[in-house]
Structure 1
Amino acid sequence: MQFPESWLREFCNPPLSSEALAETLTMGGFEVEERRPAAPPFTQVVVGEIKEAVQHPNADRLRVCQVDVGGEALLHIVCGAPNARAGIKVPCALVGAELPPGEDGKPFRIKLGKLRGVESQGMLCSARELGLSEDHGGLLELPATLLPGEDVRAALQLDDVVLTIKLTPNLAHGLSVYGIARELSALTGAPLVTPEIPAVPPQLDDTLPVRVEASDLCGRFSGRIVRGVNTAAATPAWMVERLARCGQRSVTALVDISNYVMFEYGQPSHIFDLDRIHGGLAVRWGRAGEQLKLLNGNTVTLDDTVGVIADEREVESLAGIMGGDATAVSDDTKSIYIEAAFWWPEAVQGRSRRFNFST
């Protein structure tokens, strides 16, 4: 289980240093295997807003950007990133900045220089150049709410600490940030903050018929139809960053929201494309010879020891483990069915290992 310490402290914030907090969890049976900073050290990197980006006079792949970093004058910075354009906010390393070491192991210092005859007064940065990820396909685009000149480390909470906890099989209640917070509250006496989650009243009368045919597989099955979703909506930057610090890459807004809830509260969910479901759903044990193509591209052969969710035509999901490709959401999805269920531990234990993958 990997998560940022700042997220844990939103639920339980004892008056302990980061080191003491990790020691307390370890002594309580939740072994902290690793404590590491959310980002490697770097200096003098601020929020820059690109006011103008024009073609470099002597290079097809370079642009000359005018960048607001909160000072009296704009900086002239030459940039080769494909997404360098006016209106976005990005990390800007000022002259004198020191970036994380490159492949040679030496810190990279930013100096005043010229690129193809044009002076460059700094450097606009990708996520990889700041050591935040391996993504170097373009500049790291920052939230529009940040102000030019803000220190990037403070703005993105890059001095946060990422904790990795080794959990034994009897501590599955610790597979969420809230679950760890409950333990921390019990260990320290610090209050546990439990946010109110008001019920969202349905806006539709639509329902999807579901039959739970195997009560020894599923103890509770819940679902809701949502229509008119926008699959092109962008996941908020703060959510993308939190997921990244949990070791989870951003996929799409729908998938990211599902993953976020799982990391926060330990409740897995699955999102079906409603229009790809034929009839209703049945929660049952598999049948010998049935096959299912999973979201990871693997096709598995089932039997009566594996739980499934099936519609009137075929199996659509491996119960409690992974959804199927046939009902996966896509760019064309307009309506979804969100499923959140409780699967009896004995009914799902060891099944993913049997198929040689984990989720």
Structure 2
Amino acid sequence: MSHHTDHTDHIDYKDVVHAAERINGKVRPVTLTPVDSGTFSAGEVWLALEFMQHTGSFKARGALNFTAAHIEDGTMPDAGVVIASGGNAGLACAWAAAQHQVPATVFLPQNAPAVKVSRLTALGAEVRLTGTEYHHAMEAAAAHAEQTGALASHAYDNPYVAAGAGTVLEEIYSRTGTPLVDTIIVAVGGGGLFTGVAAAAARHDVRVVAVEPENCRALNAAIEAGQVVDVEVDSVAVDSLGARRTSPMALHMAGVADVRPVLVSDEQIIAVRKALWEHRRLAVEHAAATALAALTSRAYLPAPNESVAVVLCGANTDASTLA
């Protein structure tokens, strides 16, 4: 059994490499598209279209790695996996379980949108609605894991999930014909994508710009305090970036890699999401727009010859709000 099945406080580059080997050929390769030169005054900017991934977000990578690693270790129970999430993590968990013919149970509050329930059901998950708030679903999922022996997955605070997310940078970096990037910009919620990307970035000497909404700053606040702290969350991107606290792994990586934490306003996030739709017909969720807002708001200014990749992480959004 791998020493990484418990909640260790860090991952490193080899975890990302192992993840890349496990999920190779089973996830969609990330597409990079250049941004018109001069748009952000300096540097060469590429959009990494990870929202085109299976289930509409980068989370398919981590969920698949989590599932495959436990099967490989012989630690996948007959009861399969369980998670509380109506968002990207739940979708990814259900999809990854289906790829390996493993049962997935997803707990949601009773007021969860019907469209989310039907998407999860279509992926083969068993959906259980309980309570009125998210924490009720969390508690029910934990109880289910306890009673049935199902493996509890987590949206971000898990080494396999974080390492799987990091494969997006590993892929960009190792692919021939791809520009070698100096900097990668990611939105941060709980910190799974950030943790994995930073682990790979530290190896390749790539800077990580960690972007959060001003009022969803779990990582930013943890870096400031020198420890994981609870924050109030209130942002247009709260559906995907609304973690009340970051993971210890994310805070650890912030001290290991070359990291620039930046904050952007909701107004900037909304403007970027609209612009991506109006100028490129890209329908992305607010979290994806958050990453690009680091450049449009000039919270991060690339040097003249800097090559930057911005991860557009997800597209599970209500497209009717774009027009």
Identify whether the pair has TM-score above 0.5, normalized to the shorter chain: no
Q: Which has the higher contact order (CA 8 A, sep 6+)?
A: 2
So what's the TM-score if we normalise by structure 2?
A: 0.25
So what's the TM-score if we normalise by structure 1?
A: 0.23
Which protein shows a greater Rg?
1
The answer to which structure has the higher strand fraction is: 1
